[in-house]
């Protein structure tokens, strides 16, 4: 009989000092070999559940835990220690920087085994196997800090696998990864599901979770839906309501009024065609003609820029770019390809080792850092790198005050910045009580208060659920439409397709492609060779012989003979 | 450690405990002698060791510090130390043969200590250091915490760098203003840095716990270093030198 490996029975947890339970009435049973994915909006209790499973709750994170759970047949009652559960259930965290601590790959992998008092010869075998499994054989002596993001996350997985847990739980392991890194992790999960007794994964990218056996939808601490992907993902509105970007195939089908249970691109396209929909004769020409009017004069000129940290390989190597007023530029490429280094030249945080960067007609070497910072607003990846004030208002006023603007002007600008970012009315709130999405908006607001002509944003959507992402992206779009030039670093290709005008692709410190977004997506082979992937909606468009940027464009390009 | 130089030398191959105990014995040895000549011999000895361990690369990095230490100690001890018959004086400053000898002895001693420390960090990995401490008898938690500190310091500096850049990008100017104004400007840096540190520590602790850290009972080690004849030889040699140094009548 296929006995469940994990059974949760009416599990509930309330954090100490919290009024509301973070988990409530969780009943779940995990069969051997099953691959389960948990989805849900920020604050739904996904991470809390993961931490319950391996015992961090309640032995490390305090609070009140009720209900019981059985792991591999043995009932866990009372307060099992993390290290007892850790042998059975391994946990991989989202932040791959903070979970690695050794000086080389093999010691990192061996750490858990040392604690479990595994014999030395056995340990060597297991370390070797675990590293082989995740594709890191040959990296044994490397310093983890020298690995790419994807490699670091795979190392974290190896260090858990080496302990041979029955079940591996991964809490948003791909959030901070580039498209290749993401793909590698999902491929790995595919292989692992057959080798260990089960995988539980928290993940937002619906397209990647189609191969799961079961999807759990969480909301306010409860599991409110459970079933195979075909059932759980086929209602785009329901999924979107819960903070998850719906499958674009289902969005298309629902827009056309068809049954939405064809989830893959191929199935969805054939359903659309067999329902009689045809591509309009002039569709692609119409799409190509749908371009933003020519932008204004040149704002930023980058000429033969080379930048080197110490004696290392140049991080940016011979880049020339010209950015015009009013443009919305997306800067994409693998982790470590030089995007952030390039972006930091725009506001003078880096000065060129060779070549020149001119902003508003003046070389960045001739600007003072504060003056340039006022004209080029830079929003760092993590809002928590900069938030320090007691109130939202103070936080936003910080920049404007630094530039010595009169208090009246400061107040006016702060008001305007809060209004445009949707934070009006929250002036006196403590920034640390805001949600991650609101903190990201606050970071944008605090840059806007100095009225910059150019906005540079480093991965503004990381760590946000779909609602949060759409909110910040629409904000950025509004700012761009009101005349600000936007340069945005991102890993999300759908964001590039739907929001940017121009796409600059970097690889190894060079710009390898620079052009109109649609033209960048017209060449899937090139994207593939750069380890990038066209987003789902774009690939869905390919099925109709179109180069589109969104599902809406597909809908606009189709016609039905019956009208 | 950051200054670790990955080469293969006799010193690199020593048992980690030998490296730690050896370093301590070298430091004690430098304190045994008052004569600048003996100190010079010790200094030459450790320089030879540094050479053999390939540590000159690191010594070059601290060369300005080494020169400053030498010049400063020779000058200040010679001029301020009041021993023997001064043959020159000016106000508080005096010079005597003894004070000059003392100045050189102190200078060479400090140099020998610096070089010894540098050799140690050049040929010892963080994990070896922790292993060595455990082998001497320190509890695992203590040795792990020590080695973790070495690991986290550079990481922490990167984080600080990010926060400083984020605030500079918002016009924070740390260079202008009087002392009080400048001190207040550090608030926007300190708050995010603390938040960061707390969050990182929390995550790290969870990662450690999840891997069985804190488990009761026996633990095994992935690394293993045999304690062999060369370890006995080196420690024996240093012990003899120390005994001779401390028991010999002061020259």
Q: Is residue A18 over pLDDT 90?
A: no
Chain A stretch 122-151, residues whose beta carbon is closer than 8 A to a beta carbon of chain B? 123-124, 127, 145
Partners of residue A198 on adjacent β-strands:
A34, A167
Structure tokens at B209: 């716990």
- For residues A541 and A480, membership in a common domain is answered with yes
A418 within 8 A of A427, measured Cβ to Cβ: yes
- Chain B contact for A235, CB < 8 A? no
Is A68 in a helix, a strand, or coil? strand
CB within 8 Å of chain B, chain A residues 299-318: none
What is the per-residue pLDDT across A39-56, written as a single tens digit (0 to 9) for each?
Answer: 999 889 999 999 998 888
Per-residue pLDDT tens over the stretch A356-409: 999 999 999 999 988 899 999 999 988 988 899 999 999 999 988 888 889 999
Report if residue A559 sits inside a domain: no
The tokens describing B128, both together, are 């070896």
Could you tell me which chain A residue has the CA closest to the CA of B221?
A114
- Whether A82 and B217 lie within 8 Å, measured CB to CB: no
Query: In terms of domains, do A209 and A240 share one?
Result: no
Residues A79, A172 within the same domain:
yes
Report the b/e string of A548-563 with b at 16+ CB within 10 A: bbbbebbeebbeeeee
User: Are A79 and A199 within one domain?
Assistant: yes
How many domains does chain A fold into? 5
A361 and A247 share a domain? no
Same domain for A406 and A326: no
Beta carbons of B220 and A118 less than 8 Å apart:
yes
Q: Does B181 touch chain A (CB under 8 A)?
A: no
Per-residue pLDDT, A77: 56
Q: Is the pLDDT of residue A231 over 90?
A: yes
Taking 70 as the threshold, does the pLDDT of residue A78 lie above it? no
Q: Does A15 touch chain B (CB under 8 A)?
A: no
Q: Which of A230, A259, A282 is the last residue of a domain?
A: A230
Q: How far is CA A534 from each of CA A180, A186, A187, A409, A525, rounded to the nearest angstrom?
A: 12, 17, 18, 45, 10
Residue A86: predicted pLDDT: 80
Return the structure tokens found at A130: 């675990």
Residue A530 confidence (pLDDT): 85
Q: Does B218 touch chain A (CB under 8 A)?
A: yes
pLDDT at A76 over 70: no
Which of B126, B169, B210 is closest, CB to CB, to A378?
B169
The tokens of A209 are what? 């979770």
How does DSSP classify residue A445? H
Beta bridge partners of A332: A505
* CATH code, domain with A533: 3.40.50.300
**Contact at CB, B209 and A56, closer than 8 angstroms:** yes
∠ Cα A432 A434 A439 (to 5°): 85
Expressed as residue numbers, the domain containing A444 is 387-452
Identify the closest residue of chain B to A347 by CA–CA distance: B169
Q: What is the pLDDT of residues A54-72, one digit of tens each?
A: 888 888 888 999 888 888 7
User: What mean pLDDT, rounded, does chain A reach?
Assistant: 90
B195 touches A at CB < 8 Å = yes
Say yes or no to pLDDT of A37 above 80.
yes
Q: Do A186 and A247 share a domain, yes or no?
A: no
**d(C-alpha A258, C-alpha A268), whole Å:** 10
Q: Apex CA A463: angle with CA A460 and CA A464, to 5°?
A: 75
CA A311 to chain CA mean position, Å? 32
> Could you tell me whether strands A454-458 and A34-40 are parallel, antiparallel, or unpaired per DSSP bridges?
unpaired
Chain-chain contact of A402 with B172 (C-beta, under 8 angstroms):
yes
Say if CB A366 and CB A347 are below 8 A apart: no
Taking CB atoms and an 8 Å limit, are A370 and B209 in contact across chains? no
Counting one residue from chain A and one from chain B, the pairs whose CB atoms sit within 8 A come to 161
A197 plus A70 within the same structural domain: yes
- Sign, Cα dihedral of A397, A400, A405, A410: negative
Residue A379 lies in a domain: no
Q: Which residues of A touch B199 (CB under 8 A)?
A: 98, 384
CA distance A444 to B163: 16
**What is the pLDDT at residue B251?**
55
DSSP A54-118: TTHHHHTS-EEEEEEEEETTEEE-S---HHHHHTTEEEE-S-TTTT---SSHHHHHHHHHHHTT-
CA distance A225 to A354: 57
The answer to whether A171 touches A202, Cβ cutoff 8 Å, is yes
Residues of A in contact with B187 (CB under 8 A): 388
A268 min Cα distance to partner chain B (Å): 42
The alpha carbon torsion through A502, A503, A504, A506 (nearest 10 deg) reads 170
Measured between alpha carbons, how far is A6 from A224 in angstroms, rounded to an integer?
19
Which residue is closest to B191 within chain A, CA to CA?
Answer: A388
A107 reaches B (C-beta below 8 A): yes
Chain B's closest residue to A452, CA to CA, is B170
* B250, pLDDT greater than 80: no
| Alpha carbon B53 to its chain's center | 16
Q: Which residues contact A437 (CB under 8 A, 6 or more apart)?
A: A42, A464, A465, A467, A468, A471, A472
Same domain membership, residue A159 and residue A170? no
Question: ipTM for the complex?
Answer: 0.84
The angle subtended at Cα B233 by Cα B229 and Cα B236, nearest 5°, is 135
Nearest CA-CA distance, residue A98 and chain B, Å: 6
Do A322 and A181 lie in a common domain? no
Structure tokens at A357: 């960067």
Q: In percent, how much of chain B has pLDDT > 70?
A: 98
Q: Closest Cα partner for B150 from B6, B4, B251?
A: B4
Distance from CA of B158 to the nearest CA of A (A): 12
The CA distance from A276 to A264, in Å, is: 19
- CA pair distance B211, A112, nearest whole angstrom: 5
User: What is the percent of chain A with per-residue pLDDT over 90, rounded to a whole number?
Assistant: 63
pLDDT at A1: 44
The per-residue pLDDT for A2 is 65
Tell me which of A421, A452, A483 is where a domain ends. Answer: A452
DSSP annotation of A230 reads: H
Which of B166, B104, B148, B128 lies closest to B15, judged by CA? B128
Rounded Cα gap, residues A500 and B64, in angstroms: 52
The pLDDT-based confidence of A489 (bands split at 50, 70, 90) is very high
| A254, A357: one domain | no
pLDDT of A548 above 90: yes
Does the residue A558 lie in any domain?
A: no
Name residues 161-180 of chain B within 8 A of A (Cβ). Answer: 162-163, 165-173
Residues A35 and A102 in one domain: no
């Amino acid at each position: 009989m296929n006995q469940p490996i994990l059974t949760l029975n009416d599990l509930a947890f309330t954090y100490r000092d919290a009024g509301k339970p973070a988990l409530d009435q969780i009943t779940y049973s995990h069969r051997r070999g099953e691959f389960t994915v948990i989805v849900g909006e920020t604050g739904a209790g996904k991470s809390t559940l993961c931490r319950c499973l391996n015992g961090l709750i309640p032995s490390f994170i305090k609070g009140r835990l009720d209900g019981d759970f059985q792991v591999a047949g043995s009932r866990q009652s009372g307060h099992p220690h993390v290290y007892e559960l850790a042998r059975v259930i391994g946990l991989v965290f989202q932040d791959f920087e903070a979970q690695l601590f050794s000086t080389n790959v093999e010691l990192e992998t061996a750490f858990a085994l040392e604690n479990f008092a595994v014999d030395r010869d056995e340990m060597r075998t297991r370390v070797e196997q675990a590293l082989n499994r995740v594709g890191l054989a040959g990296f044994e002596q490397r310093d983890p800090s020298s690995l790419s993001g994807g490699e670091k996350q795979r190392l974290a997985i190896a260090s858990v696998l080496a302990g041979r847990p029955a079940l591996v739980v991964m809490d948003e392991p791909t959030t901070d990864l580039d498209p290749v890194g993401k793909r590698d992790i999902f491929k790995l999960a595919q292989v692992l599901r057959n080798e260990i007794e089960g995988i539980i994964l928290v993940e937002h990218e619906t397209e990647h979770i189609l191969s799961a056996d079961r999807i759990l939808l969480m909301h306010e601490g409860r599991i409110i839906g459970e079933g195979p992907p075909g059932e759980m993902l086929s209602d785009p509105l329901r999924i979107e309501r819960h903070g998850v970007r719906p499958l674009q195939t289902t969005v298309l089908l629902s827009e056309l009024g068809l049954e939405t249970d064809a989830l893959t691109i191929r199935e969805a396209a054939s359903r659309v065609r067999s329902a009689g929909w045809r591509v309009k004769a002039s569709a692609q020409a119409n799409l190509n003609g749908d371009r933003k009017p020519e932008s204004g004069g040149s704002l930023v000129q980058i000429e033969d820029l080379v930048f080197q940290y110490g004696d290392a390989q140049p991080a940016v190597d011979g880049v020339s770019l010209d950015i015009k007023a009013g443009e919305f530029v997306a800067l994409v490429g693998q982790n470590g390809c030089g995007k952030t280094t390039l972006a930091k030249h725009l506001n003078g945080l880096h000065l060129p080792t060779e070549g020149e960067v001119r902003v508003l007609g003046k070389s960045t070497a001739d600007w003072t850092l504060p003056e340039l910072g006022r004209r080029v607003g830079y929003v760092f990846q993590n809002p928590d790198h900069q938030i320090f004030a007691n109130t939202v208002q103070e936080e936003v006023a910080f920049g404007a005050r630094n530039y010595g603007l009169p208090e009246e002007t400061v107040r006016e600008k702060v008001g305007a910045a809060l209004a445009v970012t949707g934070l009006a009315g929250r002036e006196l709130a403590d920034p640390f009580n805001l949600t991650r999405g609101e903190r990201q908006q606050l970071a944008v607001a605090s840059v806007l208060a100095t009225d910059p002509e150019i906005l540079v944003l480093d991965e503004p959507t990381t760590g946000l659920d779909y609602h949060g992402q759409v909110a910040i992206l629409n904000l950025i779009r509004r700012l761009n439409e009101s005349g600000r030039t936007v340069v945005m670093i991102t890993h999300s290709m759908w964001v590039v397709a739907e929001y940017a005008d121009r796409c600059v692709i970097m690889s190894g410190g060079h710009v390898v492609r620079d052009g109109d977004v649609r033209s960048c997506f017209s060449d899937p082979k090139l994207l593939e060779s750069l380890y990038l992937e066209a987003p789902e909606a774009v690939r869905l468009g390919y099925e109709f012989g179109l180069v589109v940027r969104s599902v809406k464009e597909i809908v606009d390009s189709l016609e039905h003979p019956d009208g | 450690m950051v200054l670790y130089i990955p080469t293969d030398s006799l010193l690199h191959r020593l048992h980690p405990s030998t490296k730690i105990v050896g370093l301590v014995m070298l430091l004690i040895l430098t304190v045994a002698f008052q004569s600048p000549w003996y100190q010079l011999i010790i200094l030459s000895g450790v320089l030879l060791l540094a050479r053999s361990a390939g540590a000159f690369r690191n010594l070059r990095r601290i060369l300005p510090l080494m020169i400053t230490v030498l010049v400063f100690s020779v000058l200040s001890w010679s001029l301020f130390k009041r021993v023997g018959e001064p043959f020159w004086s000016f106000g508080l400053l005096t010079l005597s043969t003894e004070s000059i000898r003392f100045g050189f002895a102190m200078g060479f001693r400090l140099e020998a200590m610096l070089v010894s420390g540098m050799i140690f960090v050049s040929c010892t990995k963080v994990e070896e250091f922790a292993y060595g401490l455990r082998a001497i008898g320190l509890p695992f938690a203590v040795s792990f915490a020590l080695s973790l500190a070495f690991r986290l310091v550079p990481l922490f500096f990167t984080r600080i760098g990010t926060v400083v850049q984020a605030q500079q990008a918002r016009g924070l100017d740390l260079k202008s203003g009087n002392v009080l104004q400048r001190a207040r400007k550090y608030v926007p840096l300190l708050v995010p840095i603390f938040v960061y540190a707390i969050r990182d520590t929390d995550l790290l602790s969870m990662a450690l716990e999840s891997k069985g850290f804190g488990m009761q009972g026996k633990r095994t080690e992935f690394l293993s270093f045999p304690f062999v004849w060369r370890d006995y030889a080196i420690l024996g040699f240093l012990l003899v030198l120390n005994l001779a140094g401390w028991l010999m009548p002061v020259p």
